[in-house]
Chain A
Amino acid sequence: MNDFGAMDELYRDFILDHYRNPRNAGTLTDPDATFEDNNPLCGDKIRMDLRVEDGKVTEVKFAGRGCAISMASASLLTEQIKGMPLTEIAKIGKDEVLANVGISISAARLKCALLGIKVLKQALAMKYEPSPEEEAFPDGRPS
């Protein structure tokens, strides 16, 4: 079950690659939308900056620190949403994010995988009308 194979499956090469070489790393000057949040359980922290033109994300950068799962998940997300209309971003749900990371994540690590999408949605919600079909994402429990 949870032997070497399972760990190699969780930490596949593309996850390690995104962890060590995060795409779209950095910040934007005068972003149209920005948000930073952390997972108080483990201290993971992600900030996401977005440039939005004509209802589309034209530029995105993220900065932060965290585990391989949270960093890779956020990195993958930035690749996915570049050029995407906000209406499409609103449809990205939990299952899609987990599928992108390519793993079924144990409950203990769910918050890691979902921190990036949570920050993205909050950045957009503060600036743009959230769509009613949007999914709520879990909050970390402070310790």
Chain B
Amino acid sequence: MSAIAGPAAQPLTETDVARIRAEFPILKERPHGKPLVFLDSAASSQKPIQVIDAMDDYYRRYHANIHRGVYHISELATEAYEEARRKVARFIGAPSASECIYVRNATEALNLVAYSWGRQNVRKGDAIVLTEMEHHSNLVPWQILAQHTGASLRFVRVDDDGLLDLSNLDALLDGAALFAFTAVSNTLGTINDVATLTARARAAGAVSVVDACQAVPRMPVDVQAWGCDFAAFSAHKMLGPTGVGILWGRRELLDAMPPFLSGGGMINVVGLESSTYAGVPARFEAGTPAIAEAVGLGAAVDYLEAIGMARIHEYELRLTEYALSRLAQMPAVTVYGPSLAHRTGVVSMTVGDIHAHDLATILDSEGVCVRAGHHCNQPLMEKLGVAATARASFYLYNTPAEVDALVRAIDKAKSVFKIK
């Protein structure tokens, strides 16, 4: 348990953040002899010692396969795996832990919905509605589903401010089987009004799928308040390990869905010719799962809950506001995305005519880690008219001093490229 617990109304202080930073061993690293300034948490966050220790402890003391052994350490492993599922369910406001399915990552979660629910429910002539700001993981599975079923794809436009243009949403949703959209843009930082979008989908008779990858790590999430039918996210973006993620789905939908992957652990009775399948969630968890990673995810939820998601969100907004104000003073810097009122701690930018890759290389020479490229968001990049941007993303362990380091490193890049 972290020592930084406090009520939601009490903003994180400099001292709190210093104590948080001390719990992340990697922040002591010095790439190229410079302090590590990690501004790529939207791609994957760093891990506190509590998460690393929880996984280490599992491997040292009670590793065994789950739901199989009758012996003591297998029971311990099973209990830890299921306890982590209950923590996740509580964390996202799921009515029942059994609706939280362990998957490898959000990509697998979205594929599960596309293959299992999609192929059973989407028909030729149906529409699948997406937005122009989707990560490839919430685009390509639906393209494949559309090609397979003969359904059509429709897209909610992104306007010049980086917000969804909802003016024709009802027309787009007319005849739609499904509406899949992100809660928070991984490229622009835009926060979408999930509850409104799901309500519109419901009114049109469409099932709603929320890519919650960027939302769950950085703001309070309640899937019931969202009113969605499915939500997908990865552990590694929320202080947890790689290799595990969650698909939350509404019970009645999950109950009616066929298996996605099949094999051991998801069956009821197996014959040579056919088998019957286990209930939810086991039906969707074929094979030995990522047990240590699930335990690590549980520890990450504990860590985030102890600090409080409202406080984390508020702190991230403060950092973002500071970063935007510093970058606004740099004439060579173009920042993409909406105003602070509609965004979170993801800041995509270009600097003069410096390609994002070159910018990231120069920032790296100062120990500053940013993502450069299309952010798995090629259609949106085309729309912005840039091949690539550099993206800085902030999290609870970042500081205003690190924003200053980013600004200094951008100044260095301008100097190397001889830009005023």
Q: State the A residues within 8 Å of B (CB).
A: 1-4, 6-8, 10-11, 16, 20, 41-45, 65-69, 108-109, 112, 143
Q: How big is chain B's contact interface, by range?
A: 20 to 34
Q: How far is the CB of A98 from chain B (nearest CB, A)?
A: 16
Q: How far is the CB of A92 from chain B (nearest CB, A)?
A: 24
11 contacting pairs across A/B (C-beta < 8 A): A2-B32, A7-B416, A11-B417, A43-B374, A43-B378, A44-B357, A45-B387, A65-B387, A66-B387, A68-B355, A109-B361
**B418 located at the interface, meaning its Cβ lies under 8 Å from any Cβ of chain A in the complex:** yes
Q: How far apart sit A20 and B354, CA to CA, in the bound complex (Å)?
A: 10
Q: How far is the CB of A27 from chain B (nearest CB, A)?
A: 18
Scan residues 370-420 of chain B and give those whose CB is less than 8 A from a CB of chain A. 372-374, 376, 378, 381, 387-388, 412, 416-418
* Nearest chain B residue, comparing its CB with the CB of A44: B387
Are the C-beta atoms of A69 and B416 separated by less than 8 Å? Answer: no
Q: A1-B33, A11-B416, A11-B417 are in contact. Are A68 and B358 (CB under 8 A)?
A: yes
Are the C-beta atoms of B357 and A109 separated by less than 8 Å? Answer: yes
**B362 located at the interface, meaning its Cβ lies under 8 Å from any Cβ of chain A in the complex:** yes
**B353 located at the interface, meaning its Cβ lies under 8 Å from any Cβ of chain A in the complex:** yes
Are the C-beta atoms of B416 and A42 separated by less than 8 Å? Answer: no
**B12 located at the interface, meaning its Cβ lies under 8 Å from any Cβ of chain A in the complex:** no
Scan residues 170-209 of chain B and give those whose CB is less than 8 A from a CB of chain A. none
**B356 located at the interface, meaning its Cβ lies under 8 Å from any Cβ of chain A in the complex:** yes
Are the C-beta atoms of B381 and A7 separated by less than 8 Å? Answer: no
Scan residues 14-35 of chain B and give those whose CB is less than 8 A from a CB of chain A. 32-33
Q: How far is the CB of A104 from chain B (nearest CB, A)?
A: 14
Q: How far apart sit A44 and B358, CA to CA, in the bound complex (Å)?
A: 12
The one of B365, B372, B378, B418 in contact with A7, judged by C-beta atoms closer than 8 angstroms, is B365
* Nearest chain B residue, comparing its CB with the CB of A1: B32
Are the C-beta atoms of B365 and A8 separated by less than 8 Å? Answer: no
Residues from chain B with Cβ under 8 Å of A43 in the complex? 373-374, 378, 381, 387-388
Are the C-beta atoms of A4 and B412 separated by less than 8 Å? Answer: yes
